[in-house]
Amino acid sequence: MTNPGSMSEPENKDFYLTAISQRSKDVPWYYPPLRSLNPSALQILQAYSGIQSEEEAIAHVLRIREKAWQIFPYPCIGSYRFLDFSIHSNPLYPILLSDVSDASSPNSFLDLGCCFAQDIRRLIHDGASPSLIYGAELRPEFVELGEELFLDGDKEYGKIYTEVDVFEPSTLETVRGKDGSEFKYVHMAAFLHLWGLEKQHLVLKNVITHLLSTAPGSTLLGRQAGNKIPGEYSHPTNSDHNMFRHNPATFKKLFEEVGEELGVEWASVDVYEEGWGQGEDGEGRKVVEGHRETYFAGRDDTKLTFVVRRA
């Protein structure tokens, strides 16, 4: 059953489908122009990309968003979520960064569904070795826009595979890390929540089977939308028009069920829940004051951060 009352549930399905097909901006997840940038985004755009002023950076971001909107009007595009760099707020981040900072390390990192690959740029900016950093994305246009956003087409920022479909194992088999290996770390931000529960189950199976290393300590990590009342919620921009939002208990159950089906044991399944606008860089996440709350943050909507380690 689809839950009523989510802030992300469209009031009129046909209206939203038409709006999406026409790339209309008359949707609640298309936020007005930025007045300021969150501190993390401004730091990256200045120190990594070489943009001098905040005013120049804002104008640059707005140009990129307009191009991305015409590719597909995802909520993460309209609401500037690509400026969040959510990997930095994951509790595993210091360990992860240390593990992929030495080019001689055998461990590779994959950002699955990387879009503009903003989290990859954050890792590189913070000292990760590009030779250990990989991305995978379905739409190559977003990867190209990532280079335009971060002005680094002439730099080494890791390798990104494109036209990677998590429902097509043959495309996943082409995604490999250092020396053709599978990945010690697979990062999934704003990714699993794109589908209903059955498809989440299938995606997770494919990721574990085809991408995650079998070595002990191999880790799945990321962040996604959740809800205190778990269930399927209407969502206008995915093919099934619904998404399953978890609470910590149901999200842990998903990993446990998939692990049992595959014969994979987990050393730990840690899920952290917080409300929108909370956390270490909560002020920065409210990139448009008064708007993120109206679309993404209903009373029961949450963010789930997770770290799942293989035994």
pLDDT along the chain (311 residues), means of 10: 41 77 88 92 96 96 97 91 93 98 96 97 97 97 97 93 98 97 97 94 98 98 94 80 92 98 98 70 35 51 95 98
End-to-end CA distance of the chain: 35
We report the CATH number of the domain holding residue 270 as 3.40.50.150
Q: How far apart are CA 259 and CA 281, in angstroms?
A: 32
Q: How far apart are CA 291 and CA 78, in angstroms?
A: 11
Domain residues for 178? Answer: 2-310
Q: How far apart are CA 308 and CA 56, in angstroms?
A: 39
Q: Tell me the β-bridge partners of 272.
A: 305
Q: How far apart are CA 45 and CA 16, in angstroms?
A: 33
Total structural domains within the chain: 1
